[in-house]
Amino acid sequence: MKCFGATDTGLVRANNQDSYVIASNEVGDVFALVCDGIGGGNSGDVASQTAIQYFSEVFSANKGFKDEEEALTWLRYQIRKANDTVFTLSTTRREYQGMGTTLVGVLLIPQGSYVINVGDSRAYASFQDGSFRCLTQDHTLVQDMVNHGELSEEEMMNHPKRNMLTNALGIWSNIRIDLTRIDDPADTFLLCSDGLHGYVPDSVIAKVMLDSRQTLQAKSKQLMNLALLQGGYDNITIILIQKEAGDKR
């Protein structure tokens, strides 16, 4: 298995509120996460870093999972604990009031591949049959409008409220957790903040991801440059994980 991660402040923002990690536990399982912090001042940084640090610590001490049920229970529990941690900071420290963070991740274990999502960061994958698709659905006001037939996918891309979240880590005491098992044989996973997918169309991302001649580092650099060429209006974070023949995860 090959992994690569990168983040960039972009060309407009003063600081980078994104955070990411590619972690492994005691038995070699892989857990990769991207968080995109929200909140005024530096509090978005704190929210995303707090969540990433929490997951890094609890996963590095993990001894593996006996079955899928144990893995899913662990994921749901730890996401809620991470939410509690960020929520407590945001409600007890005035300088952190209103902060939160998105969360998207993939857990790769012998029992399968599992994608988690809270917010509007995204997971994508290219598959062995040559296809490419998004594995998550944004938790945003405009996505809800699309789901209810009030907007088209094309209208959503340019809607003035496209970044209005309906779900995020640390904003509310209760959160919605999307957890999906990926049954099709994935070749490469992409996790990213909306600094990429909010400015680079999925069709363009797919073209880069399906180019088998490029290394993960080259693909990441190309995707990053595409976002910067669109103006670099937001922080950009990318994780790529390529599964190889013989991988048990």
Q: Would residue 248 count as lying in a domain?
A: no
**Tens-place pLDDT, residues 205-229:** 999 999 999 999 999 999 999 999 9
Res. 244 pLDDT band, cuts 50 70 90: confident
Q: Is the pLDDT of residue 83 over 90?
A: yes
Strand partners, 179: 116
pLDDT of residue 167: 96
Expressed as residue numbers, the domain containing 209 is: 2-242
CATH of the domain at 139: 3.60.40.10
Q: Would residue 154 count as lying in a domain?
A: yes
Give the total number of structural domains in the chain.
1
Q: Would residue 247 count as lying in a domain?
A: no
Q: Span 134-143, mean pLDDT? A: 95
Q: Would residue 23 count as lying in a domain?
A: yes
Q: Is the pLDDT of residue 42 over 80?
A: no
pLDDT of residue 22: 98
* Percent of the chain scoring above 90 in pLDDT: 88
Q: Would residue 128 count as lying in a domain?
A: yes
Q: Would residue 107 count as lying in a domain?
A: yes
Q: Span 113-137, mean pLDDT? A: 97
Q: Would residue 164 count as lying in a domain?
A: yes
Q: Is the pLDDT of residue 160 over 90?
A: no
CA dihedral of 83, 84, 89, 94, whole degrees rounded to 10: 90
